[in-house]
Amino acid sequence: MSVALSKITNVIKRFDYGRGSQVGLIVSIYRSDYDSEMNVFHGRSQITLVNVEGPFEPSKKAPAAKLVAGYGNTAIIVPADDEFDGVQMSGGTFASTSDSRFQRAVEKLVGVSHFAVAIHDRRETWAEYEAFSR
């Protein structure tokens, strides 16, 4: 197992899947045929946005995530856990749903509606970032 995959696996093991936590809206993950093992939501097809109105509890199948403001008038989605010291970036995946609460939440957050939002769940330590990105 690679060092990066081991770190992501440890994050997932520590990840609070939401039992007993707040509820939110389930959205679908869209990706190409490639599913990077460096993404926190690797192998998942859904996530639960715990800061968007909805009736669903996060689960192992649809772990907790948050909709947050990105750069300019963009919204991004990040894992709900805040335990990471390093670089978090787009993992090449997007999330969307036909539920209008999602588009309303995006518009309320950034002033414009998006039909798909980038998921920023790829995590690298600063050393990995320097090695992979320079």
Print the SS3 string covering 21-78: CCCEEEEEEECCCCCCCCECCCCCCEEEECCCCCCECCCCCCCEEEEEECCCCCEEEE
pLDDT at 113: 87
Domains: count for the chain: 1
pLDDT at 12: 44
What does the alpha-carbon distance between residue 34 and residue 19 come to, in Å, rounded to a whole number?
A: 30
Query: Which residue range is the domain that position 93 belongs to?
Result: 3-133
* 110: amino acid identity, one letter: V
Section 27-48 average pLDDT: 95
Section 20-33 average pLDDT: 89
pLDDT at 85: 83
Tokens of residue 115, six digits: 């039909």
Residue 4 or residue 133, greater confidence: 133
Tokens of residue 16, six digits: 């609070």
